[in-house]
Amino acid sequence: PASAAGVTSEAPGAEAAAGVAAAPEPKPKPKPVASPQRSPVNDLKAAHKLVQRSKHAFGSTALCLSGGAAMGNYHFGIVKALFEGDCLPDIISGTSAGAVVGAFVCTRSDDELRRDLCREVLLQRLTCFNKSWGECLAHFVRKGALFGQGDWLACIKWWTFDTMTFEEAYQKTGRVLNITLSVANRQSPPILVNHITAPNVVVGSAVLASAAVPGFINPMRLRIKGEDGVVRVHDNAELYFDGSITQDIPIAGLAETFNCRFFLTSQCNPHVVPFFFSSKGAVGQPSRWSRYDVDESWRGGFLLSVLEAYLKVDMQSKMAFLKIIEAAPGVTGTVMTQDFEGSVTIVPRVAFEDFFKLMSDPSPRDMDRYLQRGQVAAWGKIALLKHHYKLARRLEECLSELEAQ
């Protein structure tokens, strides 16, 4: 017998009964799941969606022309440089003096713009301040404003092709004209008129309303062209005045209406230009106090640069405080505390005499200065703008190719 021989046989599970754990059986490895095959159609859809989102995020580009009275003539030089450099945006906004230049550009084809954007033609048409101060004062006594609406409407017809509307201007040139207006009712926010919000409004009436500085031109109502071609004025319509008083650069309106993300601003306001300074020099205006190190090249020296910056920032902060407590005199609270900059801001190098010629027609010498300095200021930004437009065009090309496929 096996037991007698000293050999024992144990039934299955005897090791467990004896307290010895049995080795666990190995688990089967999971089978790899085959990934779904990507088709070329799915790849094209994903690429199209990516480029479409990228284009939307990149946004559109807008040119914003500020006010500035006669100093707004610098806009002509800036627009001329952008046009000749193939960097003129299709979306243009103008306020006050900038509205005149914006309407001039957006109501003309490229050929007409090349013909009219020159010194000789502009000098013949810039005649809105041709009356003597005696006549202006007499008109102020009678009407409460230095200049009459009828006289300026007659002057503005050439700039806006007579009674052309916003819709007609867009259909003719493909450029989008936007004009900022302030509402006489103080409870209402400023408005932005264009071919979407006011297609039948006569451009000339909107330009004049945007330039209606209190005391110079009385607030006015917009004129509307009917289907029969007759221009009418609604007596119960709102009164509008100078747009630069409440919103010189309409960044929010342009972003909301046209998905603008890049704003090229031409700033010529006499009360704003002195606040634009670069303590370490700028393009075409290098610091003469350079120590061969850009970080130490303070214009005029460190102490004078700090003093200049302190005075300007302190003045702006005080005006903002007066606006908050509603103690700012007149319209200075809104005029001095707006945001006057864009993504890129072009500020021409103005002459000291320009501050004494804000209400006068330009002489040939003045016109040469406006065009030359405006072009110089714009050409300093051309290289940057070309790179920006190159990206925008590449996105357009990619999207067109994907849609074609």
Lowest pLDDT segment from 85-89, 120-124, 284-288, 369-373: 284-288
Q: How far is CA 276 from the centre of its chain?
A: 17
Q: Are residues 224 and 142 in the same domain?
A: yes
Query: How many other CB atoms are found less than 10 A from the CB of residue 266?
Result: 30
- Is residue 28 a part of any domain in this protein? no
SS3 386: helix
- Is residue 23 a part of any domain in this protein? no
Q: Which is more confidently placed, 44 or 239?
A: 239
Q: Are residues 319 and 305 in the same domain?
A: yes
Give dist(CA 244, CA 324) in Å, integer.
19
pLDDT at res. 8: 43
In single-letter form, the type of residue at position 135 comes to E
- Is residue 207 a part of any domain in this protein? yes
Cα–Cα distances in Å, from 124 out to 119, 121, 263, 357, 367?
Answer: 9, 5, 32, 18, 11
pLDDT at res. 324: 83
- Is residue 225 a part of any domain in this protein? yes
User: Which alpha helices (H) appear in 144-215, and where do they start and end?
Assistant: 149-156, 166-173, 203-210
SS3 61: strand
- Is residue 284 a part of any domain in this protein? no
- Is residue 85 a part of any domain in this protein? yes
- Full-model pTM: 0.83
The enclosing domain of 143 has a CATH number of 3.40.1090.10
Q: How many residues does the chain have?
A: 405
Q: Are residues 152 and 231 in the same domain?
A: yes
Q: Are residues 165 and 302 in the same domain?
A: no
Give dist(CA 128, CA 133) in Å, integer.
13
Q: Are residues 75 and 219 in the same domain?
A: yes
Give dist(CA 93, CA 99) in Å, integer.
7
Q: Which residue, 285, 315, 339, sits at the end of a domain?
A: 339
- Among this protein's residues, is 242 annotated catalytic? yes
- Is residue 21 a part of any domain in this protein? no
Catalytic residue (one of 93, 96, 210, 266): 96
- Among this protein's residues, is 66 annotated catalytic? no
- Band of pLDDT at residue 336, cut at 50, 70 and 90: confident
Catalytic residue (one of 182, 242, 266, 354): 242
Q: Are residues 304 and 227 in the same domain?
A: no
Q: Are residues 223 and 326 in the same domain?
A: no
Residue pLDDT, tens place only, 127-178? 989 888 899 999 999 999 999 998 999 999 999 998 999 999 999 999 999 9
Total structural domains within the chain: 2
Closest CA to 103 of 239, 201, 184: 201
- Is residue 13 a part of any domain in this protein? no
Looking at the DSSP bridge assignments, the partners of residue 61 are: 262
Q: Are residues 202 and 74 in the same domain?
A: yes
Cβ(202)–Cβ(231) below 8 Å: yes
Lowest pLDDT segment from 6-10, 45-49, 210-214, 307-311: 6-10
Residue pLDDT, tens place only, 34-81? 555 566 667 888 888 898 899 889 999 999 999 999 999 999 999 999
271 pLDDT exceeds 80?
yes
Q: Are residues 178 and 302 in the same domain?
A: no
Q: Which is more confidently placed, 150 or 334?
A: 150
Give dist(CA 381, CA 365) in Å, integer.
25
SS3 231: strand
Q: Are residues 330 and 228 in the same domain?
A: no
Which residue range forms the structural domain that includes residue 183? 57-270+340-404
Q: Are residues 179 and 209 in the same domain?
A: yes
Cα–Cα distances in Å, from 159 out to 15, 85, 110, 224?
Answer: 106, 23, 15, 18
Closest CA to 180 of 248, 103, 102, 90: 248
Q: Are residues 379 and 319 in the same domain?
A: no
